[in-house]
Structure formats: C-alpha cells, structure tokens
C-alpha cells in the first residue's frame, strides 16, 4: 500500500508539550482535506509524542521539507524519549510562530500554523479500535520562504519538495521538467 499510495507529501510536525518541551517529527500519512478554511490531516501509527502534545495543547506547526533537508528530516524521525527536543538534537533553527507556541523549521519552504479540530482514534471495518490516531487541523497562518515566490506566486518547483515512497528508504524528488498544466 505504501508503494501504491506514493509518492506522498511529508509533514514535518512541530509541537510543544504542556511542560514546554519541543518536538519535531516527519509524517507522510499526510494531506490537505479542505480548502476553505484550509484543513489538513496526518496520522500516527501508534500514539506518538506528537499526538500526545497535540491532545494536550491543541497546537501544531507543519513545515514542508525540500530535497536539501532530507538528511536532517530523517534524523528527526528517530524514536527519542519525550524529553528530547529534536530541534536541538538535529541542530535546527526555529522560526517563531505568530499565533501558536510551536515554532516551524527555519529555512523550510512553507510553515503552516495549525490548531487541531479533531484527534481521532481509528476503528476498523469490524469496529475494533486500533492504535492509530488521525489528527485533523485547521490552518491559521502560513509563512512562505521568499525564495519560493516569483511575482507574488508560490512556485512549488522552487520549493523542491521531498516526497516519501513505498519501501524502507524510498523517497522521491520532482524531476525537472516535471510540471505541466492541463485545462480543466
Ligand atoms: C519520511 C518519514 C515519514 C514518516 N511518516 C510517518 C507517518 O505518517 N506516521 C507515523 O506514525 N510515523 C511516521 N514516520 C515515523 C515517525 O517520524 C517516527 O516514529 C517519529 O519518531 C515520531 O516522533 P514523535 O514520537 O516525536 O511524534 C515517518 C518517518 C519518516 C522518516
């Protein structure tokens, strides 16, 4: 399934616990689920620190990652104790948020400040609760890197997003020229 539903965008999710400890981790079970207001979701296989922090505070920030950030992104996916702040561990600089506490990753193409609408534990078809948690959030503020804007338009190709694919270490990048436009 992970090879079929691929390549997937990656949310680099930043949160802060009630105790004030920062956390950062990548999630590729991630997508946009509404446009107005902008809403998105990601899901955590197992109740991870990210979900616990969002359940406590209702706040999270999503930074997108470009190809050049993939090594440090991978570094932040290690399974650390909740007391470890992956920003410090990976030597990442923070970009302060305007409306919420969790900072974004400085240098990311886009940072989305979100508040959670729902933290839902999934059930199977048979009605059995599983240890998977889907977070739906509404985007309150957006910060874009000036490097990705030309004539006032955000250009995805300049963000050079890194995408997750199917098997263990598989990632995707957008080949040049990969973009085309189709009339609808
Ligand atoms: C590119 C990438 C994508 C990932 N996507 C997910 C995901 O969608 N859901 C998930 O539960 N874990 C995912 N992981 C694993 C988490 O990042 C990892 O378990 C991390 O330690 C969770 O951190 P936390 O406990 O601080 O939330 C992914 C890892 C990588 C490298």
Contact 132, 43 (CB under 8 A): yes
- pLDDT for residue 111: 98
| Residue 71 CA to ligand 1 centre (angstroms) | 14
Q: What whole-number distance in Å separates Cα of residue 140 and Cα of residue 165? A: 29
Question: For a pocket test of ligand 1, which of 28, 163, 170 has the largest count of ligand atoms closer than 8 A to its C-beta?
Answer: 28
CA atoms within 13 A on the CB side of 95: 18
pLDDT reported for residue 52: 98
Q: Is the pLDDT of residue 71 over 90?
A: yes
Q: Please state the rounded mean pLDDT for residues 1-9.
A: 96
pLDDT at 69 over 90: yes
The protein residue with its alpha carbon nearest to ligand 1, atom 14, reads 27
Q: Which atom of ligand 1 is nearest to the CA of 27?
A: 5
Mean pLDDT, rounded, of the chain = 96
Distance 25 CA to ligand 1 centre (A): 6
Q: What is the pTM of this model?
A: 0.96
Q: What is the pLDDT of residues 87-129, one digit of tens each?
A: 999 999 999 999 999 999 999 999 999 999 999 999 999 999 9
- List the CATH code of the domain at 11-173: 2.30.110.10
Question: What pLDDT is recorded for position 178?
Answer: 78
Q: What pLDDT shows up at residue 64?
A: 98
Residue 176: per-residue pLDDT = 76
Q: What is the pLDDT of residue 181?
A: 86
SS3 77: coil
- What digits encode the pLDDT tens for the residues 154-169? 999 999 999 999 998 9
Ligand 1 center to residue 115 CA distance, Å? Answer: 20
Closest approach atom of ligand 1 to CA 86: 26
Ligand 1 mutation pick, 5, 65, 77, 164, max ligand atoms within 8 A of CB: 77
For the CA of 164, the closest atom of ligand 1 is: 1
Whether the per-residue pLDDT at 43 is higher than 90: the answer is yes
Taking a C-beta distance cutoff of 8 angstroms, is the pair 163, 172 a contact?
yes
**Where in the chain are the domains?**
11-173
Task: Record the tokens describing residue 55, joined without a space.
Answer: 């359940």
């Amino acid at each position: 399934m992970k090879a079929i539903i691929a390549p997937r965008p990656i949310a680099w999710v930043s949160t802060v616990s009630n105790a004030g400890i920062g956390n950062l981790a990548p999630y590729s079970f991630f997508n946009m689920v509404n446009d107005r207001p902008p809403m998105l979701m990601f899901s955590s296989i197992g109740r991870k620190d990210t979900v616990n922090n969002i359940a406590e505070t209702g706040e999270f920030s999503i930074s997108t990652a470009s190809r050049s950030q993939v090594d440090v992104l991978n570094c932040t996916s290690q399974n650390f104790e909740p007391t470890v702040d992956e920003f410090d561990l990976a030597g990442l600089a923070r970009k302060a948020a305007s409306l919420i506490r969790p900072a974004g990753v400085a240098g990311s193409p886009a940072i989305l400040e979100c508040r959670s609408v729902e933290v839902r534990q999934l059930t199977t078809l048979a009605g059995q609760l599983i240890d998977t948690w889907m977070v739906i959030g509404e985007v309150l503020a957006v910060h874009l890197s000036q490097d990705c804007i030309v004539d006032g338009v955000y250009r995805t190709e300049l963000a050079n997003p890194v995408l997750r694919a199917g098997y263990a270490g598989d990632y995707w990048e957008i080949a040049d020229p990969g973009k085309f436009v189709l009339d609808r």
